[in-house]
Amino acid sequence: MVFHHTPITRLHIVPMSAEHAVGWRSLWRMNVGDALDKAVVDHTEKLILDPHSSLFALLATTETNEVIALLHGVVHPVAGSMHPVCYMQDLFVHPARRRQGVATRLMEALSAKGRVEKWDRIYWLTDKNNIDAQALYSNNAITLDFTFHIVPIGMLDRLKETNT
């Protein structure tokens, strides 16, 4: 897929559908590199396209239907609220389309979706060294100073298999 460097005249934020799968795969691969097997990408696509799944994707597309950005989210219940919350897992804009307001539009669309669906909040993690993302989020969210910990149960097993 060829991306043009011309300014975006009409940007559309849409839920991912099967017609966007090729563009989504290309962009997500650009974001994660070779870190994910094809089976994982296939499984993720299937979940995103399943209307009963809590995993979803919002895409930014141009007037020619090019997929230029993606946002993955997971809606789930949480202790302490009667309303679900949304974990924003990925927000990635094609490098040629950055600094044109695309990420902001995706965040606005996610917030609008949350208001309609009555979420309690949206949350996410950001690499502290990702200066551009930190700047975007500092204008759109409250930063909490927590340390993030994981126990990589299945992830650790897969890493061991890869290294043997």
113-122 pLDDT per residue, tens: 999 999 999 9
With beta carbons less than 8 A apart as the criterion, state whether 59 and 91 touch: no
**Could you give the 3-state DSSP secondary structure of residue 16?**
coil
With beta carbons less than 8 A apart as the criterion, state whether 156 and 164 touch: no
pLDDT digits (tens, 9 = 90+) for 19-74: 999 999 999 999 998 888 899 999 999 999 999 999 999 999 999 999 999 999 99
Q: What is the mean pLDDT of the chain?
A: 87
Residue 106, token pair as written in the block: 């995706």
Q: How far apart are CA 6 and CA 111, in angstroms?
A: 28
Domain assignment present for 38:
yes
Domain assignment present for 58:
yes
Domain assignment present for 2:
no
Predicted TM-score (pTM) of this structure: 0.84
Range 85-109 average pLDDT: 94
- Cα 117 from chain centre: 18
- 3-state helix, strand and coil shares in percent for the chain, rounded to the nearest 5: 40, 20, 40
CATH code of 98's domain:
3.40.630.30
How far, CA to CA in Å, does 105 sit from each of 132, 153, 163? 15, 35, 41
Q: What residues make up the domain containing 75?
A: 12-162
Domain assignment present for 39:
yes
**Local confidence band at 1 (pLDDT 50, 70, 90 cut-offs):** very low
Domain assignment present for 156:
yes
Number of structural domains found in the chain: 1
Q: Which backbone phi and psi does 75 adopt, to 5 degrees?
A: -100, 135
Domain assignment present for 6:
no
Q: Which residues does 22 contact at the CB level (< 8 Å), separation at least 6?
A: 1
